Structures are given as structure tokens and as C-alpha cells.
Amino acid sequence: MNSDTPDAGLAPGFRLLAQSASTAAGHTDALFLAMVLLCGAMALVLAGLVLFFAIRYRAGSPADRSNPPSNARGLEAAWTLLPLLLFFGVFLWSAWDYVQQRSAPSDALPVYVTGKQWMWKLQHRNGRREINELHVPLGQPVKLLMTSEDVIHSFYVPAFRLKQDVLPGRYASVWFTATQLGDFRLFCAEYCGSEHSAMIGRVVVMEPAAYARWLGEGPAEPGLVQRGAALFRERGCSGCHAAGSTVHAPLLDGIGGRTVHLQDGRTMVADETYLRDALLLPQKDIAAGYAPTMPSYAGQLSEDDIQALIAYLQP
Ligand code: CUA
């Protein structure tokens, strides 16, 4: 580690929460604090009332027990509605935060993540690969597109308040913007076999200029888009799906993100999961106006190949 990236996230010492190093972390912490305070206040009120009544109406106490109230509608409405509103507010607040954390800004840097027993494999759009390390620029949104080669893993960066299960056979997507330079721990947070606890790594947040240098340094590998383009030809996709083909098949130029009309009347957005299913389970969502003649590529493409093809199909 070089000297201008302090060992922020890995510093020893006791903390109640990991330090917050992403734009989402402050929101999550505020919500968490509000819930602790709200639930704590509720618990205090209830415990206080229990104690108060237990003492006041203990056996043999001189408290007045005559003429108990038979109608306390106002009180009942208050203790029903007030907590309802409070906790519904918490629901709205967290739902809002959740939606924010799921919708990546359109300029987010894409990084492809594959979990496998027992490592994190990461790939940047220009083809640079990493294992158990993720380099990102400070202050710029980064979108992770994640899948697994085998079992369920969970990508967990406490300092970013970021945790997302990673499932085989589909893509999960999260994004974050780092707000502090330094190294931050990355864990697998889902038991995934005997070496689950060793499936750890780090996220390195760098100055944008240093990041750009770093990104350009790696071994010269073709970028994801180039690899995807090559696969598109080699695997025969272009035979049907390129302009000028005699086969009646959908043109795939820049399909990623477009709305697709399906045979059965549904419409879908051609996101990563849709494109992945189109490759591996082509009979699942047939595009309207086309015959279901596409063969499945299940077992013939690695996760890396699929990622490259998907990157190629983005506009
Ligand atoms: Cu991967 Cu636990």
C-alpha cells in the first residue's frame, strides 16, 4: 500500500459501527440510529408503565380501584395510531433509501463481479482483472454487476454499508460512491463452504487520477466489449443477429437497456439478467414476431464470456 492511502478501513480499535466511507453509509446510519432511538423510547415507555402499574396496583396498595373507566376510545386510538404512523414512517424512510441504493446513476462505472468457492473475481470494463481486490476512484459512482459460479455468496463491505447476495444463474446489481481514500474490508457474508471465512478481500479507494493510471497499467488484455465482439462472431451469434443476416432474428446492436416486446404480450427491459437468460434459456422470453429457434448456450459459455457478451450488447 502506498503512503497516500491511509489504512482507514483496516485500522484496529473498537468501534460501534464500521467507519462510514460511502454516500449511502450516512443514510443507513441515520436510519439505524432513528430505529434504535424509536425502539428504545418505545421499550422505555412500556417498561415504565409496567413498573408504574405494578407498584401502584400491587396487592394491598391503597390505590383507588373504584369506578374503573369502561370507555377509553381516545386512548386506544392514540396507542394504535401513533405507533402505526411512527413505524410506517420508518418503512417509508427505509424503502426510499433502498430504492436509492438499487437505482444506479447512469454514469456509474461498471465492474463485473463473480463469486466462486472461494474468491471474488472482478473485472473492469477495459478488461483489467483483479482477485479479492477492487480498485475504485474516489467520489465516482461504481456499479457492481454480480453473479456466482457455484453457490450463494454475499458481497459485503461494512464501511460502505453495502451487502448483496450473489446468486448463481442471475445478476444482482448494487452501486456505491466512495467518500474516503483508503483500504476497506470486503467479506463474503453468506456461508458458502469450508473456506467461507477465507473469502475476504479489500476495496481500495484511490484518487481519480491515480485510479485512471492504475486502470491503464494492467497486463494488456482486450477490453470486455472487444472480447464480447469477438465472441459474438466466433460463437456464431452474428450469423443470425447482425445486420445483413438472412435469418429472421432480432438485431442486437445496442439492445442492452431497451424495452423488448415478447410473444406473450409482456414487455421487459433488456437488462443484464434478461440478456443472460436469452443466452442460456432462450425459450423463456421469446421476442414478439420471432420463431423460438435460438439454441441454448448453457454450458458452452463461461461467466466471463457471458459478461463480455453483455458488455458488448450495451449501447
Ligand atoms: Cu463465499 Cu461465503
What pLDDT is attached to residue 56? 92
148 in ligand 1 pocket by Cβ < 6 Å?
A: no
Above 90 in pLDDT, residue 52? Answer: yes
What pLDDT is attached to residue 13? 66
192 in ligand 1 pocket by Cβ < 6 Å?
A: yes
- Kindly report, residue by residue over 23-36, the tens digit of the pLDDT: 888 888 899 999 99
Ligand 1, residue 151: give the atom nearest the CA: 1
Residue reference for cell 450469423: 239
Distance from the CA of 127 to the center of ligand 1, in angstroms? 25
Q: Which of 5-14, 21-30, 278-287 has the lowest mean pLDDT?
A: 5-14
Please state, in angstroms and rounded to a whole number, the distance separating the CA atoms of residues 109 and 238. 27
Please state, in angstroms and rounded to a whole number, the distance separating the CA atoms of residues 308 and 289. 27
Contacts of 230 (CB under 8 A, 6+ apart): 222
Span 181-197, average pLDDT = 92
Angle subtended by helix axes 272-280 and 303-313, to nearest 10:
120
What pLDDT is attached to residue 308? 82
113 in ligand 1 pocket by Cβ < 6 Å?
A: no
Distance of CA 65 to the CA centre of its chain: 58
Helices (H), the chain: 23-56, 73-102, 208-217, 224-234, 237-241, 272-280, 303-313
| Strands 109-116 and 259-261, bridge-based pairing | unpaired
278 in ligand 1 pocket by Cβ < 6 Å?
A: no
Label residue 5 by pLDDT band (50, 70, 90). very low
Distance from the CA of 246 to the center of ligand 1, in angstroms? 46
Span 163-187, average pLDDT = 90
Ligand 1, residue 118: give the atom nearest the CA: 1
Please give the helix or strand (H or E) that residue 293 lies within, else none.
none
Q: Take atom 1 of ligand 1 and give the residue whose Cα is closest.
A: 153
Distance from the CA of 229 to the center of ligand 1, in angstroms? 32
Above 70 in pLDDT, residue 260? Answer: yes
Q: Which residue has the higher pLDDT, 5 or 209?
A: 209
Above 50 in pLDDT, residue 307? Answer: yes
Distance from the CA of 201 to the center of ligand 1, in angstroms? 12
Q: With DSSP H G I counted as helix, E B as strand and the rest as coil, what are the percentages for the chain, rounded to 5?
A: 35, 20, 40
Whether the model clears a pTM of 0.95, i.e. scores above it, the answer is no
Label residue 219 by pLDDT band (50, 70, 90). low
Distance from the CA of 25 to the center of ligand 1, in angstroms? 23
| Strands 141-148 and 109-116, bridge-based pairing | parallel
Closest CA to 242 of 251, 234, 233: 251
What pLDDT is attached to residue 9? 47
Above 70 in pLDDT, residue 55? Answer: yes
What pLDDT is attached to residue 12? 59
- Kindly report, residue by residue over 63-111, the tens digit of the pLDDT: 888 888 888 889 899 989 998 998 899 999 999 988 888 888 888 888 9
199 in ligand 1 pocket by Cβ < 6 Å?
A: yes
237 in ligand 1 pocket by Cβ < 6 Å?
A: no
Label residue 284 by pLDDT band (50, 70, 90). confident
What's 74's DSSP letter? H
CA–CA–CA angle 116, 117, 119 (5° rounding): 65
188 in ligand 1 pocket by Cβ < 6 Å?
A: yes
Please state, in angstroms and rounded to a whole number, the distance separating the CA atoms of residues 113 and 127. 12
Distance from the CA of 171 to the center of ligand 1, in angstroms? 16
Please state, in angstroms and rounded to a whole number, the distance separating the CA atoms of residues 121 and 129. 7
231 in ligand 1 pocket by Cβ < 6 Å?
A: no
User: 170, 153 in Cβ contact below 8 A?
Assistant: no
Q: Which of 39-48, 158-167, 278-287 has the lowest mean pLDDT?
A: 278-287
Average pLDDT, whole number, for the chain?
84
* Residues 155-175: b if buried by 16+ CB within 10 A, e if exposed: bbbbbbbbebebbeeebbbbb
Label residue 220 by pLDDT band (50, 70, 90). low
Above 60 in pLDDT, residue 3? Answer: no
From residue 177, how far is each of 76, 105, 203, 213, 315 by CA, in Å? 46, 10, 12, 19, 23
Ligand 1, residue 193: give the atom nearest the CA: 2
- 3-state class of 8 per DSSP? coil
Above 90 in pLDDT, residue 227? Answer: no
Above 90 in pLDDT, residue 215? Answer: no
Distance from the CA of 192 to the center of ligand 1, in angstroms? 4
116 in ligand 1 pocket by Cβ < 6 Å?
A: no
Ligand 1, residue 199: give the atom nearest the CA: 1
Q: Which of 41-55, 155-169, 257-271 has the lowest mean pLDDT?
A: 257-271
User: 187, 202 in Cβ contact below 8 A?
Assistant: no
Give the percent of the chain with pLDDT over 70: 94
